[in-house]
Structure 1
Amino acid sequence: MASVAMDLLQKYAPVVAEHLVTVNATTAQNQLYGDVDLGGLSWLERTWAAYYIWMGNPVLATGLLSFLVHEVVYFGRCIPWLIIDAIPYFHQWKLQPNKAVTRAQILKCTKVVLLTHFTCEFPLIYLFHPICCYFGMSTYEVPFTPLPIMAAQIAFFFVFEDMFHYWAHRALHWGPLYKNIHKLHHEFSAPIGLAAEYAHPLEVLILAQGTISGPFLYCLFRNDLHIFTVYIWVTLRLFQAVDAHSGYDFPWSLRHFLPFWAGADHHDFHHMAFVNCYSTSFRWWDYVLGTDNKYHAYKARVAAASAKDRAAVEKKELEEVEAEGLRAERLAELGGGKGGMEGVKHGKLE
């Protein structure tokens, strides 16, 4: 069956067939690493080379590894949050403690996420290796980029993605885009980690550009980026996305040590209130453009309450903010306003 499929590809799609041809280990080593002293490399770099030699085809090797990295990291990070949510002890740090996610919601979320991964992301991964080569990004090559350069590259990717996501996310709150694309993601007014990629396929593709365009943009100016660095960046980005949707804010959460880090506290408010807090990793775009004013007003009112009354005040504030958010959402669905905070003032539709 495999040989018949390959014959058909060679006849009707020779370019695709060429990329799917594999060679034996000896040939692969000679072709990929003929002039490389593998013995002088680190264990990780030797393992990297061994994987590409074993696969015998860089296109398939990169595609498969890219998909596995995404799936293993995403679900590997989501599972601990599901376990935490099932343990009552941790509920004291839950941002919206009165909302519980059902098993049916978790199952639906898992199905939608997997469907999107396999129908939207997996087919595109075949193109990843050729695109990397086109932009001059190293793939199978060893050694890797030095750590100081790698750290600077990842920092740039974080800043670029945060900027891209802020504006793309705000655009998705514009009436027609919200109603037809972004509304699915907002089914979770109290998000869970698994819901980080619970979204319309178009939204997944749009927001993914912020993650992957940074590395390609970098390649236009420098030729020292390795795909291994991109995998580290994607891992960190997935951790950030899942954690931001976790619904928990612990005393040891990163935002308590980095004041400009957004975290779950920031993004959970966005899901609850519909408006404000459009950024992903950092708070500065929302701060500079004033799209965090409701968030800060809510926090200030809760903080001003006495210790005795704080729980009751917080509950009342949560209810009022969510009610206002529902009104803003309905306005967006009707095509009114410009997304974000426009169209709602003092809790009333304008």
Structure 2
Amino acid sequence: MNSTSVLSHRTTSSELYASSGVEFSQLSWLEANWAAWYLWIGDPVIATGLMSFLLHEIVYFGRCLPWIIIDATPYFRKWKLQPNKIPTAKEQWECTKLVLYSHFTIELPQIWFFHPIATACGMKTWQVPFPNWQTAALQVALFFVFEDAFHFFAHRALHYGPLYKHIHKVHHKYSAPFGLAAEYAHPAEVFILGMGTIGGPLLYCLAGYELHMITVLVWVTLKLFQAVDAHSGYDFPWSLNRILPFWSGADHHDFHHMAFVNNFSTSFRWLDHWFGTDDKYLAYKKRLAAVAEKDRAALEKRLLEEAEKEGILAADEAEKKRLF
């Protein structure tokens, strides 16, 4: 075989498994089907890209579906953070169209090129068996921490001057967010913040640590759940932030959309606390807690209206600022 044909040849999944010495009889059901997928598709790059994109779409819209039903069910209004702002079917459809546009024009290319970049960084993709669950759980926890920090600083930057006016303002269209709006954003923002999601795994591999694609897919699945739930607009007694006080949840992020200021983190609350970017949010919660329960609904309505008015003014001021 001449040098030209060697360079043009892409190794197939069959060749990869044949050379790896995998003992298929020792694999779990999931591991065997993982290998079967790569063998069926034939090309590992296509197999990873197709699987990842399908998973993203199924998880994102699958997680949004319960919130669409909840928004259409009056019974759940008692837990709605802004009960007078229920998204209409038209609003949800308009939101879905932009989300799909971003998915196919921005996220699909990112996902498709993830395999060659990931393998170049040393990540395992088609290989079996998988790492143990303890290792995967620790890695996912690290990715949550990294992404939260990345998002915090990138999000704050997007609130300044031209970056807000020309990019982040799109995401702030809804002062009362809903599940589908989690990825309703300018394509540039989708790309920028998406780097926080994939950046953690890539840097982890570049640091010389072993990582498998299955762990990345688990991480992305949980991250999508977090993003959709944070934009749901509902705070239930069983919400995760009621169990883990450092978890942000919808209660934390809904205030950001309503008041424009404060609460820039995604998953956790500690960076907002350390940098003092939760002062207005904490003052709002403190005022609510100080009144009797019978008077709370009226006070909450008034505070929500005040916060939204202040948010509109703050957004206008942000647009006027120069970036440098």
Per the normalisation by structure 2, the TM-score is 0.95
For the pair 1:31 / 2:16, whether they are aligned, the reply is: yes
For the pair 1:109 / 2:95, whether they are aligned, the reply is: yes
Identify unmatched segments of 5+ residues in structure 1: 1-13, 339-350
Q: Pick from 222, 225, 232 the counterpart of residue 218 of structure 2.
A: 232
Question: What is residue 264 of structure 1 aligned with on the other side?
Answer: 250
1:259-338 paired onto structure 2 within 5 Å? 259-335=245-321
Give the match's secondary structure for 1:210: helix
Quote how far apart the aligned CAs of 1:306 are. 1.4
- Listed one character per residue, the Cα deviations across residues 149-192 of structure 1 (whole Å, up to 9, x for unaligned) are 11111111000000000000000000110000000000010000
1:53-64 paired onto structure 2 within 5 Å? 53-64=39-50
Question: What is residue 342 of structure 1 aligned with on the other side?
Answer: none
The answer (yes or no) to whether the contact 2:162–2:323 under 8 Å persists in 1 is no
1:146-161 paired onto structure 2 within 5 Å? 146-161=132-147
Q: Pick from 182, 186, 190 the counterpart of residue 172 of structure 2.
A: 186
Question: What is residue 218 of structure 1 aligned with on the other side?
Answer: 204
Quote how far apart the aligned CAs of 1:111 are. 0.3
For the pair 1:71 / 2:71, whether they are aligned, the reply is: no
Q: Pick from 111, 114, 128 the counterpart of residue 128 of structure 1.
A: 114
For the pair 1:92 / 2:109, whether they are aligned, the reply is: no
The answer (yes or no) to whether the contact 2:162–2:322 under 8 Å persists in 1 is no
The answer (yes or no) to whether the contact 1:331–1:337 under 8 Å persists in 2 is no
Quote how far apart the aligned CAs of 1:337 are. 9.5
Q: Pick from 171, 180, 191 the counterpart of residue 205 of structure 1.
A: 191
Quote how far apart the aligned CAs of 1:285 are. 0.3
One-letter amino acid of the structure 2 residue matched with residue 317 of structure 1: L
Quote how far apart the aligned CAs of 1:148 are. 1.1
Quote how far apart the aligned CAs of 1:101 are. 1.1
Give the match's secondary structure for 1:309: helix
Give the match's secondary structure for 2:195: helix
Give the match's secondary structure for 2:293: coil
Identify unmatched segments of 5+ residues in structure 2: 1-5
Question: What is residue 170 of structure 1 aligned with on the other side?
Answer: 156
Q: Measure, in 2, the Cα distance between the counterparts of 1:323 and 1:33.
A: 64
Question: What is residue 345 of structure 1 aligned with on the other side?
Answer: none
Give the match's secondary structure for 1:308: helix
One-letter amino acid of the structure 1 residue matched with residue 14 of structure 2: Q
Q: Measure, in 2, the Cα distance between the counterparts of 1:146 and 1:329.
A: 47
The answer (yes or no) to whether the contact 1:145–1:224 under 8 Å persists in 2 is no
- The count of corresponding residues between Structure 1 and Structure 2 is 318
- Aligned-residue sequence identity (percent) comes to 62
One-letter amino acid of the structure 1 residue matched with residue 31 of structure 2: E
Please report the RMSD computed on the Cα atoms of aligned residues, expressed in angstroms. Answer: 1.7
Worse-matched range after superposition: 100-109 or 37-46: 100-109
The answer (yes or no) to whether the contact 1:162–1:279 under 8 Å persists in 2 is yes
Question: What is residue 346 of structure 1 aligned with on the other side?
Answer: none
Quote how far apart the aligned CAs of 1:126 are. 2.7
Give the match's secondary structure for 1:139: coil
The answer (yes or no) to whether the contact 1:49–1:142 under 8 Å persists in 2 is yes
Worse-matched range after superposition: 248-257 or 28-37: 28-37
Q: Measure, in 2, the Cα distance between the counterparts of 1:164 and 1:325.
A: 24
Distance 1:272 1:147, change over 3 A: same
Quote how far apart the aligned CAs of 1:90 are. 0.7
- Listed one character per residue, the Cα deviations across residues 291-325 of structure 1 (whole Å, up to 9, x for unaligned) are 00000000111111112211100000000011101
One-letter amino acid of the structure 2 residue matched with residue 42 of structure 1: S
One-letter amino acid of the structure 1 residue matched with residue 168 of structure 2: H
Give the match's secondary structure for 2:294: coil
One-letter amino acid of the structure 2 residue matched with residue 29 of structure 1: S
Quote how far apart the aligned CAs of 1:29 are. 3.2
Distance 1:32 1:113, change over 3 A: same
Following TM superposition, the consecutive aligned residue runs of length 4 or more in structure 1 with deviations greater than 3 angstroms are 28-31
Distance 1:269 1:197, change over 3 A: same
One-letter amino acid of the structure 1 residue matched with residue 66 of structure 2: P
Give the match's secondary structure for 1:190: coil
Q: Measure, in 1, the Cα distance between the counterparts of 2:202 and 2:71.
A: 37
Q: Measure, in 2, the Cα distance between the counterparts of 1:336 and 1:129.
A: 39
The answer (yes or no) to whether the contact 2:179–2:231 under 8 Å persists in 1 is yes
The answer (yes or no) to whether the contact 2:31–2:129 under 8 Å persists in 1 is yes
Per the normalisation by structure 1, the TM-score is 0.88
Question: What is residue 3 of structure 2 aligned with on the other side?
Answer: none
Worse-matched range after superposition: 120-129 or 83-92: 120-129
Quote how far apart the aligned CAs of 1:33 are. 4.1
Give the match's secondary structure for 1:248: coil
